[in-house]
């Protein structure tokens, strides 16, 4: 458990909780603690899905500018690899991941939310990639993950202008997937994650890997990735359980073991 980031586990759902008052600024220590929490969530069998949450007031307002202001080019050559690696550790969690967004998710905070599979936001949340206003660009995946999520034209608009995006627009352009009252954000994210507590873990892993990897390759290669993942699942106990349950009791009644 880190000083500012911890993994809390209950009923199959792991919550990666950011708690660095007052705006969850993502300095190098927080970045490393996010990486460690993501690795722990990846490795723990009792974690079947993950919620990323910054608390009731704010998700994460971005990088720690005071820490970054005096860094040189050579400093950032090294630090930028660490930064991307920490966020990529979240994106590579082989389980369903949902970001529960309250308040602000700006800069690195928005990039962290982009690492999730699904984003549930408060109806008064604000998102954006305002790095251009500091004379830089997003460096933790924003130019890549945002573009893949909302398309190049809209991503360029948001990144070129650095403007803030209100919740309704974020929903309209696909930057978030659902809006709820701020007080309900975490509960709704846990509800979404909880549906996987007794799901076929290796099938979920295979589906996520096939989708995410397939986005980076041509269709023929993507189909081959899918074929291999599909065939491999016939070696799992859950496949046997699922098919037997379907034949005996119909769909949706299987009691999976996660292996």
Catalytic (active-site) positions:
63, 108, 111, 131
In the structure encoding, which two tokens stand for residue 242, read together? 């699922």
């Amino acid at each position: 458990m880190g000083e500012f980031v911890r993994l809390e586990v209950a009923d199959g759902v792991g919550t990666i909780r950011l708690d660095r008052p007052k705006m969850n600024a993502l300095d190098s220590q927080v970045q490393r603690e996010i990486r460690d929490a993501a690795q722990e969530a990846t490795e723990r069998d009792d974690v079947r899905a993950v919620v990323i949450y910054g608390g009731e007031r704010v998700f994460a307002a971005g990088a720690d500018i005071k820490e970054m202001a005096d860094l040189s080019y050579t400093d950032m050559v090294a630090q930028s690899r660490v930064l991307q690696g920490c966020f990529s550790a979240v994106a590579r969690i082989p389980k369903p991941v949902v970001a529960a967004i309250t308040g602000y998710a700006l800069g690195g905070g928005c990039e962290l939310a982009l690492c999730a599979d699904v984003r549930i936001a408060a109806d008064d949340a604000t998102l954006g990639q305002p790095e251009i206003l500091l004379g830089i660009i997003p460096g933790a995946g924003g130019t890549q993950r945002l573009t893949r999520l909302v398309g190049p034209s809209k991503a360029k608009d948001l990144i070129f202008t650095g403007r803030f995006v209100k919740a309704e627009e974020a929903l309209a352009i696909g930057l978030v997937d659902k809006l709820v009252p701020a007080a309900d954000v975490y509960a709704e994210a846990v509800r979404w994650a909880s549906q996987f507590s007794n799901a076929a873990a290796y099938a979920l892993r295979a589906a996520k890997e096939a989708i995410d990897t397939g986005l980076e390759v041509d269709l023929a290669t993507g189909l081959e990735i899918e074929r291999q993942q599909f065939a491999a699942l016939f070696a799992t106990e859950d496949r046997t359980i699922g098919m037997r349950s379907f034949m005996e009791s119909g769909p949706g009644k299987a009691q999976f073991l996660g292996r």
